[in-house]
Chains A and B, each alone.
Chain A
Amino acid sequence: MVHTISTLDELKGKFSESKDKLVVLDFFATWCGPCLRIAPVIEGWSGEDDFKDNVVFLKCDVDEAEDVAKEYEIEAMPTFVLFKGGKEVDRVVGASSDSLKAAITKNK
């Protein structure tokens, strides 16, 4: 299950809820082809045993949530930002599921 974030407050709320768990935030756009292609892959991961108890998957539409996108200086989509304890620990730009999986595995 990938939750949608629309405001910075919502995001901060998710950070507190998640405590020390790895949070993966997918910045996408509805008009971005690669974003649409990788979305179901991530949806799948969020239910898998490997990830479902220790990684929190979130997503954010850059047009709907402009201030969140601005806060994290998103310039291309998709951009995946990884957080621990509310601080950014890594980011992956582009729809490479291999690179993303590697980053998740490394940081969780």
Chain B
Amino acid sequence: MPPTKDADEKSIANLVEKYIDENDVMIFSKSWCPYCKKIKDALKSAKIEFHSIELDKMDEGDQIQKELFKKTKQETVPNIFIKQQHIGGCDKTLEALKSGRVATLLNPPESERKHKKVDNDDLDSKDADEKANANLVEKYIVENDVMIFSKSWCPYCTKVKDALRSAKIEFYSIELDKMGRDLSLFKLLIYIFIYYLAEGDQIQNALINKTEQDTVPNIFIKQQHIGGCDKTLEALKSGRVATLLNPPESEKKHKKVENDDLDSYDYDLIVIGGGSGGLACSKEARSFEKKVCVLDFVKPTPIGTTWGLGGTCVNVGCIPKKLMHQASLIGEYVHDSVDYGWSQLDQARQHSWSKMIESIQQYIRSLNFKYRVDLRSKGVTYENSYGEFLSPHRLKLTDKKGKTKEITGEKIVVAVGGRPKYPDIEGDQQYGITSDDLFSLKYDPGKTIVVGASYVALECAGFLHGIGREVQIFVRSILLRGFDQQMASKIGDYMSTIGMKFHYQRIPTRLECLEEGKPGKLRLHYRQTLESGEIEESYEDCNTVLFAIGREACTNELNLDKIGIEVNKANGFKIKTKEEQSIDIPWLYAIGDCIDEQTMPPGQPLELTPVAIQAGQLLAKRMFSNSTIKMDYYNVPTTVFTPIEYGAIGYSEEDALSKFGEDNIEIFHSEFVPLEWSICHHRDQVKTMSYCKLIVDKNTDRVIGFHVLSPNAGEITQGYALGMRLGATKNDFDMTIGIHPTCAENLTTLSVTKSSGDSAAQEGC
């Protein structure tokens, strides 16, 4: 298996140095090695903390082992360093433990000791000596990016703190006037408790010695002395503070690699995101009796829409979408009813948006409740809070009232999903809506322009039209990018034929509100490239504009960069993973819509609930048991619920051609008429538009691509997905007896190939 990164020698050497420097006791280990276990046990008994990494579980493990040999001439594990001194393997370390050498290394005589913690012993009298105070001051300055020595009553101190808060710059301050004889507990953001008994005055003296400034506030940023209130406000304004806090890439030091001592975590697993993936993963983890916490929080849309537990699928995705799709199908059946003998249904046909929304929202809210109860009954702690990373194992939680708290997790799964994108034009967030708003919209959308050609755009346009609203679709270039394009264009043909207007090469430029209201009157300005190549600027008036131009992962407010995780800016800001594990940090994982996963087929975003669920469950099994079953992202069946549904498994024709070559594949296809439509006059124009094709690898006869455009394509495709998973051949399909009369049976009787040039129209029964 090739390494995930092109880790070159130098960066491996740096990585090894980092581990040695940042841990008093560092063990390079392998998970199956009995000597490694032996020495770890011995250290645990001696109550000596250590950090170990398992080289067999790391992609760059081999390279690290090579580097260690280079450095120490030792090629075995465990390879142990104490306070940056190479000790050796298990035997040598046991010996050093026994002889007291380990103890001496860990606790050198007083003069050599660098202060980490300040102990009570140093300062237990009123006359705490100057050195101790100076050390204390240094400690504050070193351990806080922005350090303010302050006094509680001082207005300039308050002024500069307010300014920093508005600039969203975190700081730490101590109030010198409040420091006295009584024990004051100061908990730094990321560090350990400090107890001390010192006079504020003496701190102030130490500051005078250091900076020649005798007033408060006395402010340090990244260990640089800035000055008082005025100087700091100036530095804020000039951008100097920003530069100090965010130095150029090359100067960034990696944060400390944290100790993996089990006792120090609040939870075995924290899952960020209570959607399809997050909930499945957390519940599966509970079956291994782990302590699990799920965080879920919905940031409202620009117009204020919000929803409960369950994620996108339940609240603003699959569930309401399918129900609205069904609403529109029922409208079609009412048209069909005439030819089946029903009278008067068609004339009386009316659709109430608010009634549909009420029914759907009631169901969704019952699901939100059900999920909360489910988590509780399975013993998962649920926090309705927004989580942000403070350090690789620590999260800050903010609830809807603004209250915060911190929790730590040994393993963390990011399952934050995604949200719809806005086009970044004037008026887009103010007057436009997205699918996040549509499914609970409190007023009838009326005449709607859908901007986009994604499956979300086409599905929404489809059901809006089906329930009787006038719909126009603005398409920038092609329909359903990433999907089989022949099928995409057939969907477009069907939708146009039933009355939806597509406008190609049309890009919105500005959204204006002509009249407020529910719905109001909007004017969408656009730029259109005509066939001649000319560019035309014009506008279209409507009641609602729905933007469905794509989605982005919700990763930009998690502080991922703070912990060294990079997101893929070119791919929806998704987190890069391999087998759902972060390629940057080994105890951080991610699943679902927010990941850019290496083992997924390229170019095919699999932002689907069942994918997230399966990945989440398998991941939990791998994290907490010795399961090695990986997620298989190939042959995932999908369905687009446009007015005529489209189901697909495996390769699109374009991908099959490019991967296998024209000579190696055969495509079998057929048009067909759904029996139920054959007697309906209102379906005359679209009757023959149902279609299916199988893409076959000539060399093996295996079916590598399955495509069906038909009513109920979702149900049809699910059944055939089992066959595809088992490696069905074209012969298997042919030898499977069809059920008559159905649409699904057409896949068992395909004989016409594309290469023959013969017509694919169906003949007789």
CB within 8 Å of B: which residues of A? 29-33, 62-63, 70, 75
Contact = CB atoms under 8 A, between A and B. Distances in A.
Given A29-B366, A31-B366, A75 B373 contact: yes
B365 interface: yes
A75 B366 contact: no
Nearest to A62: B369
B308 to A, nearest CB: 8
A30 B362 CA distance: 8
18 contacts: A29-B365, A29-B366, A29-B369, A30-B365, A31-B361, A31-B362, A31-B363, A31-B365, A31-B366, A32-B362, A32-B366, A33-B362, A62-B369, A63-B365, A63-B369, A70-B376, A75-B373, A75-B377
Contacts of B369: 29, 62-63
Nearest to B363: A31
B378 to A, nearest CB: 12
Chain A to chain B: the 7 pairs with minimum beta-carbon distance, closest first: A31-B362, A31-B365, A75-B373, A31-B366, A29-B369, A62-B369, A32-B366
A4 B131 CA distance: 64
Contacts, number: 18
Interface string B329-372: 00000000000000000000000000000000111011001000
Nearest to A77: B369
Contacts of A32: 362, 366
Majority-rule SS of B interface residues: helix
Which applies to chain A's interface (DSSP): helix, strand, loop or mixed? loop
Q: Which range contains the number of B residues in contact with the other chain?
A: under 10
A32 B368 CA distance: 12
A62 B365 CA distance: 11
Interface string B359-400: 001110110010001001100000000000000000000000
Contacts of B362: 31-33
Interface of B: 361-363, 365-366, 369, 373, 376-377
Contacts of A63: 365, 369
A82 B282 CA distance: 35
B626 to A, nearest CB: 35
Contacts of A31: 361-363, 365-366
A78 to B, nearest CB: 13
Contacts of A33: 362
A75 B369 CA distance: 8
Contacts of A29: 365-366, 369
A31 B376 CA distance: 21
B497 to A, nearest CB: 38
A79 to B, nearest CB: 12
Question: Which of the listed residues B362, B363, B369, B377 has the most CB atoms from chain A within 10 Å of its own CB?
Answer: B369
Nearest to B376: A70
A80 to B, nearest CB: 17
A29 B369 CA distance: 10
A63 B309 CA distance: 12
Contacts of B376: 70
Contacts of B365: 29-31, 63
Contacts of B363: 31
Nearest to A33: B362
B607 to A, nearest CB: 28
- A62, A70, A75 interface centre (most CB from chain B within 10 Å): A75
A30 B363 CA distance: 11
Nearest to A32: B366
Given A29-B369, A32-B366, A70-B376, 15 more contacts: A29-B365, A29-B366, A30-B365, A31-B361, A31-B362, A31-B363, A31-B365, A31-B366, A32-B362, A33-B362, A62-B369, A63-B365, A63-B369, A75-B373, A75-B377
A31 B307 CA distance: 14
A62 to B, nearest CB: 7
Q: Of A31, A32, A63, A75, which is in contact with the most chain B CB atoms at under 10 Å from its CB?
A: A31
A32 B376 CA distance: 20
A60 to B, nearest CB: 14
Nearest to B367: A31
A33 B373 CA distance: 19
B298 to A, nearest CB: 15
A4 B166 CA distance: 41
Nearest to B377: A75
A33 B362 CA distance: 9
Contacts of A30: 365
Contacts of B361: 31
B425 to A, nearest CB: 36
Contacts of B377: 75
A76 to B, nearest CB: 8
A62 B373 CA distance: 11
A29 B368 CA distance: 12
